[in-house]
């Protein structure tokens, strides 16, 4: 496991905790360039913006697409506290971002939230690798990593 991956994932998890303290769902994401510079970070804003598409990764892709061209984004890595959902995976694909590294798996999140008692979380049981496998352009995927650390951001939230 790459130490840089751990550092960036822990930052994404901290962003997820920050989103939670603001009343949003506990998800966070970073965009890192090929030289290891953090270019952007974004948190989930579903509740505060009243926007069901306000996932951390989608928010990050919106920011990144406005600031960087596709050629640059192909060399970047999106680090995220939790595996991207199908919507976010589509946005990542269309942005041109070349790699995704995530901490908590969709399966791990699903196990925590899928009892049907919380209408705020309609997690899809669809791994990002399956979405990316159907795309024309390859997206490298690394994860899950440090799931226990990422899970902590969600504990007690989805009750």
Q: What is the pLDDT of residue 125?
A: 77
19 in Cβ contact with 30 (< 8 Å): no
Q: What is the pLDDT of residue 114?
A: 66
Query: Is pLDDT at 86 greater than 90 in this prediction?
Result: yes
The single residue listed with the structure tokens 């360039």 is 33
The pLDDT mean for the chain works out to 93
**Cα gap 82→151, rounded to integer Å:** 9
Running DSSP on this structure, what letter comes out for residue 136?
S
Hey, which residues does 28 pair with through a beta bridge? 43
Q: What is the pLDDT of residue 122?
A: 66
Query: Is pLDDT at 43 greater than 80 in this prediction?
Result: yes
Q: What is the mean pLDDT of residues 55-74?
A: 98
Q: What is the pLDDT of residue 19?
A: 98
Q: The tokens of 14 are what? A: 């901290």
pLDDT digits (tens, 9 = 90+) for 100-150: 999 999 888 888 876 655 566 666 778 999 999 999 999 999 999 999 999
Query: Is pLDDT at 32 greater than 90 in this prediction?
Result: yes
Which residues does the annotation mark as catalytic?
Answer: 57
Hey, which residues does 41 pair with through a beta bridge? 30
């Amino acid at each position: 496991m790459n130490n840089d991956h751990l550092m960036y994932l822990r930052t994404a998890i901290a962003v997820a905790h920050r989103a939670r303290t603001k009343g949003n769902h506990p998800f966070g994401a970073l965009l890192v360039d090929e030289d290891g510079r953090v270019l952007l970070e974004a948190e989930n804003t579903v509740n505060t913006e009243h926007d069901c598409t306000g996932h951390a990764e989608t928010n990050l892709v919106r920011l990144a697409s406005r600031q960087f061209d596709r050629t640059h984004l192909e060399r970047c890595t999106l680090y995220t506290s939790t595996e991207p959902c199908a919507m976010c995976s589509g946005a990542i694909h269309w942005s041109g971002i070349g790699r995704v590294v995530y901490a908590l798996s969709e399966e791990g999140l699903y196990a925590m939230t899928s009892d049907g008692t919380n209408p705020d979380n309609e997690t899809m049981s669809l791994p990002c690798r399956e979405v990316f496998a159907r795309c024309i352009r390859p997206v490298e995927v690394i994860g899950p990593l440090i799931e226990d650390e990422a899970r902590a951001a969600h504990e007690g939230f989805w009750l």
